[in-house]
Amino acid sequence: MAEKVPVVQMRNIKKNFGGVQALKGVDLVLHHNEVLGLVGDNAAGKSTLMKILSGAYIPDEGEIFVEGKKIHMASSQDAHQQGIEMVYQDLALANNLDVVANVFMGREKMNLRLGPIGVLDEHFMEKETERLIDRLKIDISSVRLRVESLSGGQRQAIAIARATAFDAKVTIMDEPTAALSVAAIEKVLDLVKELKAQGNSIIIISHRIEDIYQVSDRMMVLRQGRKVCDTKVTGDIDTFREHVVAYIVGARDDFAEEGGKQANGKGK
């Protein structure tokens, strides 16, 4: 039986910012119903790679395939059309609006249009938001609460819910547990597990190695714009942490040989 085509493939992605080469020919594969942890030190290229996948940046070189079809990703709208959504670290929520308005922001449902003027279908949007919140098991008392009244963990959950509300194939999360309490971190990680259980494919950028270990099927490490590790998440947490740190600081490199081939049988 033929292996299923990955939901996303990025091949030989390169990106320069002036004289700085941020990405030096990076490959990435994301399979269906998989959580991929993306780690690396600051300026390793993680966010740049994901901004390319989400349409915020255009690569200087390289190819992107979504379910086997080559895609020219020139804008975030192109990414939306391909079912790729990114939850940024700043969440980009409107704190003065309620949960419903945030979930449907930019995608409002109208039940009447009079030329350029439209009337919002508030009932439909409220019911759809309630259905989404229930499906993802997010703990909030009302979808009519203003976002500014929610906790940090709840706001992160709403940002993730918005990203997955419109048939997303791939959800990218940039540091989803940064600056959260221990209890809020656990709730966000539970949400990631729930999304995976419902068939989503997820990429998580995180400096928290423990989070990657808890929810990821596979880990990819970038260092100075290059992929240095791509392997399944296995073993105990202490061994896993040691391996990740070794790749981040340059003590190990699975792709050190010319041409990017895996060296010495390491890695996946």
DSSP SS3 for 23: strand
Judge whether 3 lies within some domain.
no
Q: What is the pLDDT of residue 227?
A: 97
Judge whether 58 lies within some domain.
yes
209-221 pLDDT tens trace: 999 999 999 999 9
Question: Which residues fall within 8 angstroms of residue 249, CB to CB, at 6 or more apart?
Answer: 41
100-112 pLDDT tens trace: 999 998 888 888 7
DSSP, res 58: -
Judge whether 203 lies within some domain.
yes
What is the DSSP track for 149-180? Answer: GS-HHHHHHHHHHHHHTT--SEEEEESTTTT-
Q: 46: which 2 tokens? A: 């993680």
**Would you state the torsion angle of the CA atoms of residues 112, 78, 34, 62, taken in this order, to the nearest 10 degrees?**
180
Better-scored residue on pLDDT, 205 or 164: 205
Taking each helix axis as running N to C, give the angle between helix 182-197 and helix 152-164, from 0 to 180 degrees, rounded to the nearest 10.
Answer: 20
Of all residues in the chain, the percent with pLDDT exceeding 90 is: 74
Locus of tokens 């290229």? 45
- Position 3 confidence tier, pLDDT thresholds 50, 70, 90: low
228-261 pLDDT tens trace: 999 999 999 999 999 999 999 999 999 875 444 5
Residue 46 belongs to a domain with what CATH number?
3.40.50.300
Judge whether 215 lies within some domain.
yes
pLDDT mean over 170-196: 92
Dihedrals phi, psi of 72, to nearest 5 degrees: -95, 105
What is the DSSP track for 205-253? Answer: E-S-HHHHHHH-SEEEEEETTEEEEEEE--S-HHHHHHHHHHHHHTS--
Judge whether 120 lies within some domain.
no
The whole-angstrom separation of Cα 23 and Cα 17 is 10
Q: What is the pLDDT of residue 91?
A: 76
Please determine, for residue 118, whether its predicted confidence score (pLDDT) is greater than 80.
no
- Position 266 confidence tier, pLDDT thresholds 50, 70, 90: very low
Nearest by Cα to 38 from 168, 231, 256: 231
Judge whether 234 lies within some domain.
yes
The whole-angstrom separation of Cα 13 and Cα 17 is 14
pLDDT mean over 129-133: 93
Domain total in the chain: 1
58-91 pLDDT tens trace: 999 999 999 999 999 889 999 999 999 999 887 7
Q: What is the pLDDT of residue 257?
A: 58
Burial of 268 from C-beta contacts in 10 A (0-12 / 13-18 / 19+) = exposed
Element containing residue 119 per DSSP (H, E): strand 117-120
Where residue 12 falls (left for φ over 0; alpha for ψ -120 to 50; beta otherwise) is left
Identity of residue 223: R
Dihedrals phi, psi of 82, to nearest 5 degrees: -90, 0
Judge whether 40 lies within some domain.
yes
pLDDT mean over 111-139: 86
Judge whether 123 lies within some domain.
no
Alpha-carbon radius of gyration of the chain: 19
Residue-number span of the structural domain to which 57 is assigned: 8-93+168-249
- Position 167 confidence tier, pLDDT thresholds 50, 70, 90: confident
Please determine, for residue 192, whether its predicted confidence score (pLDDT) is greater than 50.
yes
Mean pLDDT across the chain: 90
